[in-house]
Structure 1
């Protein structure tokens, strides 16, 4: 958990110059304020909350938003990252109004309680499509009353491939109920998927099986690991016997007085350019 922490350059009167990034998941909520002029995070806070299902997410999110007075400030723009397991990648030429009218229900069991969200990933010539609850969108629009950018975390990860000196690279982002896995070989995306897990052994099995399926050598892969609530150590220890090169997620901008945050998914999503 990260309490409300600020950089020395943070000025509460200048939030209109900051980009607000909010991360929403069943593990809890977090926010960061990114100084777009100086290119660094100047404030952040993470609040772990164990939420049993998506049906309860909106209620918990409403309580959290109303408890954080900082979020009532005016910001340059606002990004909302929704950690949801189900998504798909669609080539750009088949997205938007070219999607079949029933594509949402076919791909996601979309109904009147959900809405289809599309994120453009220019580097792939594709769009990442996912659904979220309609009442969640309504809550966010009512609370902020400004235009919001609603994003999937993999949109950021796929738009800006993690840099590695190895031939292959992969990234794992874990939550309490599922994890995301991306795999690149020679700079080419081979896999972007999510997997449910009950125990960490499930996670290890799915990672190893996925590498076998895409025929990619783990010995020539740098694996980046991060957790939505920054609980990386156990997963790293479990995967060490199978990967020679395991690293923490790296970003440019940092909070120098908080080294743990400097490798967090919150910082990565805040600092990424989309």
Structure 2
């Protein structure tokens, strides 16, 4: 059973914050005492900018004012691009990023190196949000939310496996990650507004990638915050035979954190990759 957090020993805990347009959340846990966990989520003010929301969140959330052993910040964004680690050169970060994405004012480009996947994920964050975060947490590690998901799933895929397509659903978007054996074929984020959007993107990707209905596999993960989540697997099973629903509690060995229904798959992936 989960145990309460003792903020008098906050410097023993790891804090992970997740920032998304569909809400902010954070988790706190003790790396040696797995049952000592804390989780909180809150909506964002859609009339404010991301930077204004972040500033208010850091100012008003008492739990975030403590000192922690380690701070991770997950940015849920679609402004990212991937490349092989062998092709990456640090001094060309901005050039590589803007070759694949349109320029945007007042943006800083950040880098996540995925050692197990042999990949680099570059992502953008507006400068003011970045300033607020790094002033409040000078030693924080910043990640695109797709980074821990990709690292976690890549580690699970084996050379002998069939081709696999993973879809991680959120209220307003879906991340699609495709593998052929251990090779990453696709990583992209798509906006969704309902059941039809969700099915369209997945079935179109399945067809364009030449996946086989009999042999290849689709894994989906989401929760009741996702529009029409209960209907989605019923619709997809009409077209894809080997469809599996990822149960985070089973996936992450029934950890205290995985029992929290509201926690996101990317946050659980980050914790498991520590």
| Shorter-chain TM band | 0.7 to 0.9
The corresponding residue for 1:246 is: 244
Say which of 131, 136, 139 aligns to 1:143: 136
Equivalent in 179, 183, 192 of residue 187 of structure 2: 192
Which residue in the other structure is 2:126 paired with?
133
TM-score when normalising by structure 1: 0.83
Greater mean alpha carbon deviation, residues 70-79 or residues 7-16: 7-16
- Runs of 5+ in structure 2 lacking a partner? none
Structure number with higher strand proportion:
1
* Displacement of 1:192: 1.0
Cα distance change on mapping 1:113 and 1:100 into 2, 3 Å: closer
Gaps of 5+ in 1: 1-5
Please give the per-residue CA displacement for 1:224-273, whole angstroms capped at 9, x wherever unaligned. Answer: 31269577435444434334432234223622894625x74265145222
Q: How does 1:157-236 map to 2 (within 5 A)?
A: 157-161=149-153, 163=156, 167-219=162-214, 220-226=216-222, 232-236=229-233
Is the Cα contact below 8 Å between 2:4 and 2:38 reproduced in 1?
no
> Are 2:95 and 1:102 equivalent residues in the alignment?
yes
Q: Which residue of 1 aligns with 2:273?
A: 273
Over the residues paired in the alignment, what is the CA RMSD in angstroms? 3.0
> Deviation at 1:187?
3.5
TM-score of the pair, normalised by structure 2: 0.83
Matched-pair contact (CA < 8 Å) for 1:39–1:253 = no
Q: How many residues align?
A: 265
In 2: Cα distance, 1:49 partner to 1:254 partner: 28
Change over 3 Å in CA distance of 1:271–1:41 after alignment to 2: farther
Q: Given the superposition, is the C-alpha separation of residues 42 and 178 from structure 1 closer, same or farther in structure 2, using an over 3 Å criterion?
A: same
Contact 1:26 1:50 in 2 (8 A): no
